[in-house]
Amino acid sequence: THFGFETVSETEKSKRVYQVFENVAEKYDVMNDAMSLGIHRLWKDMLLRAMHPQPGAQLLDVAGGTGDIAFRFLDFIRVKQEQNKRKSSRSMQSPPWQEISNSYFSEDGDMFQESRAVVCDINKEMLKVGKQKADSSRISAGLSWVVCDAEELPFDDNQFDIYTIAFGIRNVTHIDQVTEITGIHNYVFIVLGEKNITFLLFIFLIVISTSRGSPGPEEFKYMIEDAGFSSVKYHNWTGGVVALHSGFKL
Ligand code: SAM
């Protein structure tokens, strides 16, 4: 069944996860809206408010699917950037460094690199839909799309400031491997995950149909700590339907 009552092998699980998302890729966004009554948008907005990225931040969005988190991330940065500009133009005459368009500056004039978001997902069909959305809305700048497995990320250490995995942790086969990998890197680890299975049977069919044996929020918190993160916290949202975990690694 899709509800996790039979025993399936790990290979079988990853094959099924792949097939489910390959089949729904084109309809994924519509289904997500319909099944969550649009609430997933609020959760994703809340994730960005909790993350509060600064201009220059580099994001790796794992299991990023059709790019919702990455789009919000770049949008948040753009708005922040405009606010900073307005603030500094009120407080002083434009200094010469503001002429350099591709770099960003803090309020006290320190230079940042440009913000980037890398969306990685094991399923190229999901990424394809995301990329098409980005291209048609002309928001491709700063975005990259990479097909890869959350358990074997192909990136060098310390390339990213923020790591997110939203509604993806249930789908991976070895959760401990995912947290260990992020532990090696210098990531802030933010997870938006689902925990209330009964309710999710109703609202997130895709997740349920692919999830098995995922940890509860407390257990997952310990796993993130074991992977070397500190100040690990979680918040339950919407009566515990989803939980946001965060932690730091310096
Ligand atoms: N993060 C997106 C969102 O919030 O809309 C997509 C979430 S969707 C429920 C789960 C995604 O996890 C799918 O796009 C699926 O292909 C991806 N996925 C599943 N197993 C994965 C793995 N081992 N590595 C990377 N991505 C994986």
CATH number of the domain where residue 77 is located: 3.40.50.150
The mean of the pLDDT values for the chain is 78
pLDDT recorded at residue 65: 97
More confident residue, 140 or 102: 140
Confidence of residue 126 (pLDDT cuts 50, 70, 90): very high
Residue 106 lies in a domain: no
Confidence of residue 183 (pLDDT cuts 50, 70, 90): low
- Tally of domains in the chain: 1
Kindly give the distance from the C-alpha atom of residue 123 to the centroid of ligand 1, in angstroms, as a whole number.
Answer: 8
Residue 105 lies in a domain: no
Confidence of residue 231 (pLDDT cuts 50, 70, 90): confident
**Cβ of 122 less than 6 Å from ligand 1:** yes
Residue 90 lies in a domain: no
Indicate whether this complex's ipTM tops 0.90.
yes
More confident residue, 213 or 156: 156
pLDDT recorded at residue 227: 80
Could you list the residue range(s) of the whole structural domain that residue 238 is in?
10-83+113-248
Best residue among 16, 167, 173 to mutate for probing ligand 1's pocket (most ligand atoms within 8 Å of CB) is 167
**Cβ of 149 less than 6 Å from ligand 1:** yes
Task: Name the region of 72 (left: φ>0; alpha: ψ -120 to 50; beta: rest).
Answer: alpha
Q: Of all residues in the chain, what percent carry a pLDDT higher than 90?
A: 28
Confidence of residue 233 (pLDDT cuts 50, 70, 90): confident
Residue 236 lies in a domain: yes
Number of neighbouring beta carbons within 10 Å of residue 98? 14
Best residue among 21, 119, 242 to mutate for probing ligand 1's pocket (most ligand atoms within 8 Å of CB) is 21
Does residue 91 have a pLDDT over 90? no
Spatial distance between the Cα atoms of 217 and 221, rounded to a whole number of angstroms: 6
Q: Whose CA is nearest to atom 19 of ligand 1?
A: 171
Whether 243 and 214 have beta carbons less than 8 Å apart is answered as no
Long-range contacts of range 231-238, CB-CB < 8 Å, 24 or more positions apart? 235/50, 236/195, 237/43, 237/46, 238/39, 238/43
Q: Characterize 178-200 residue by residue with b for buried, 16 or more Cβ atoms within 10 angstroms of its Cβ, and e for exposed.
A: bbebbbebebbbbbbbbbbeeeb
Confidence of residue 2 (pLDDT cuts 50, 70, 90): very low
Residue 166 lies in a domain: yes
Does residue 18 have a pLDDT over 60? yes
More confident residue, 204 or 16: 16
Q: Which ligand 1 atom is the nearest neighbour of the CA of 164?
A: 1
Does residue 238 have a pLDDT over 90? no
Residue 200 lies in a domain: yes
pLDDT recorded at residue 125: 97
42: Cβ–Cβ under 8 A, 6 or more apart, which residues? Answer: none
181: Cβ–Cβ under 8 A, 6 or more apart, which residues? Answer: 150, 151, 152, 153
The whole-number average pLDDT for the span 12-33 is 90
Crossing angle for the helix pair 124-136 and 28-36, nearest 10 degrees? 90
**Cβ of 211 less than 6 Å from ligand 1:** no
pLDDT recorded at residue 248: 81
Whether 57 and 187 have beta carbons less than 8 Å apart is answered as no
For 235, phi and psi rounded to 5 degrees?
-125, 135
**Cβ of 125 less than 6 Å from ligand 1:** no
Does residue 24 have a pLDDT over 70? yes
Confidence of residue 207 (pLDDT cuts 50, 70, 90): very low
Best residue among 121, 126, 152 to mutate for probing ligand 1's pocket (most ligand atoms within 8 Å of CB) is 121
Task: Single out the residue of 168, 160, 159, 152 nearest to residue 68, CA to CA.
Answer: 168
Residue 94 lies in a domain: no
**Model confidence, pTM:** 0.83
Q: Which ligand 1 atom is the nearest neighbour of the CA of 25?
A: 14
Kindly give the distance from the C-alpha atom of residue 232 to the centroid of ligand 1, in angstroms, as a whole number.
Answer: 23
Best residue among 16, 46, 123, 169 to mutate for probing ligand 1's pocket (most ligand atoms within 8 Å of CB) is 123
**Cβ of 168 less than 6 Å from ligand 1:** yes
Confidence of residue 194 (pLDDT cuts 50, 70, 90): low
